[in-house]
Structure formats: C-alpha cells, structure tokens
C-alpha cells in the first residue's frame, strides 16, 4: 500500500472478479477495507473513514465467532484508528472497547486496543480509565517479545506518571 493509486486500481479490479460461496459475503467487506486503507495511505483520512463507515452486510453469527475473517476484528480496529485519526476519539472508544468481545480470534487485538484506549483516556483527562487500560495492556503483554518490550515500558512509564499526578 505504499503506492495508493495502484492499490485503489487493484481494489477496483478485484471488485469485478467473480466470487462464490462464503466469499460472496466476505469479499465486499474486505474490498471496502482495502479501498479505505489505500485512501489512508494517500493521506485521505476523512474519505477513508466514510468508506469504512459504509454499511457492512450481516454475517451469520457462527461465521463471525468461528473465523478471524468473518468476525471483522481487523476492520473494527481500523475503524477505531480512523476515527481517532480524524479527531473523533470519543467515537473510537466504543470501537476499541468492542475488541475481544465476540470471538477468541480477537484476543490478539485486545492488548493493542487497550494501549490505544489508554492513550485516548489520558488525552481526555480521564486518569482512572487511562490507568485501568494501561494496567490491562501491561498485564497482557508482560511477557512480550523483545521487539515489543519498549511499548510495554512506555506504558509502564505513562502509568507511573498518571499515578504520580493522581497522588
């Protein structure tokens, strides 16, 4: 997606390809996400948000809880990021908070969502809620891979600073 124009053209071409079976329900959803991501890469965040906010066809619940693709966790996470990027942080809160509520396939997204929620609450001056999310993030990633440890240490420092302010 480092070439947004090509990504948009590819998404349009994919939209014309025939699909069958379960892919009929999934393909439009994934194509909409690809289109929005291409627009974000081009710096067109408001436009990407409009694409992401377009109606999503319903998916049978069993598919949603049984598949990381039909559950749409990545798309919901990206919706939250898009709202946050566009300055609509209060709306993003609900999207982040919904992560890992539907399916076990969503659990890998829980810690990143908690980290981003903590940042939003911190910026909004909601210290207790920010601290709660930092604690959740730290507990989930306390044994994170080495490459992720700086993010955990940053969260620890932010939590300590919040607790210092609250005292």
pLDDT of residue 15: 63
The most distant pair of C-alpha atoms in the chain lies apart, rounded to whole Å, by 61
pLDDT of residue 107: 95
pLDDT of residue 57: 58
What tens-digit pLDDT sequence spans the chain (167 residues)? 566 667 667 667 766 777 667 667 777 778 888 889 889 999 999 999 999 888 665 666 777 777 777 778 888 899 999 999 999 999 999 999 999 988 899 999 999 999 999 999 999 999 999 999 999 999 999 999 999 999 999 999 999 999 997 65
pLDDT of residue 91: 96
Nearest to 112 by CA among 96, 126, 101: 96
How far is residue 97's CA from residue 86's CA, in Å, rounded to a whole number? 18
How far is residue 46's CA from residue 153's CA, in Å, rounded to a whole number? 32
Residues in the chain: 167
Q: Where are the alpha helices (DSSP H) in 16-148?
A: 23-41, 45-52, 61-66, 73-85, 89-97, 110-123, 127-140
pLDDT of residue 6: 73
pLDDT of residue 64: 74
pLDDT of residue 68: 76
pLDDT of residue 1: 55
How far is residue 147's CA from residue 151's CA, in Å, rounded to a whole number? 9
Nearest to 71 by CA among 40, 33, 37, 41: 33
């Amino acid at each position: 997606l480092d070439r947004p124009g090509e990504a948009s053209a590819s998404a349009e071409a994919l939209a014309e390809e025939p699909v069958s079976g379960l892919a009929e329900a999934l393909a439009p959803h994934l194509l909409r996400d690809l289109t929005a991501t291409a627009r974000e890469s081009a710096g067109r965040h408001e436009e990407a948000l409009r694409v992401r906010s377009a109606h999503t066809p319903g998916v049978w619940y069993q598919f949603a809880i049984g598949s990381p693709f039909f559950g749409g966790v990545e798309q919901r996470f990206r919706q939250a990021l898009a709202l946050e990027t566009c300055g609509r942080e209060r709306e993003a809160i609900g999207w982040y908070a919904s992560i890992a509520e539907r399916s076990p396939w969503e659990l890998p997204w829980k810690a990143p969502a908690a980290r981003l929620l903590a940042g939003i609450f911190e910026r909004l001056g909601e210290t207790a809620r920010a601290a709660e999310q930092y604690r959740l993030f730290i507990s989930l990633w306390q044994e994170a891979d080495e490459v992720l440890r700086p993010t955990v240490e940053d969260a620890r420092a932010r939590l300590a600073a919040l607790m210092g302010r609250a005292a």
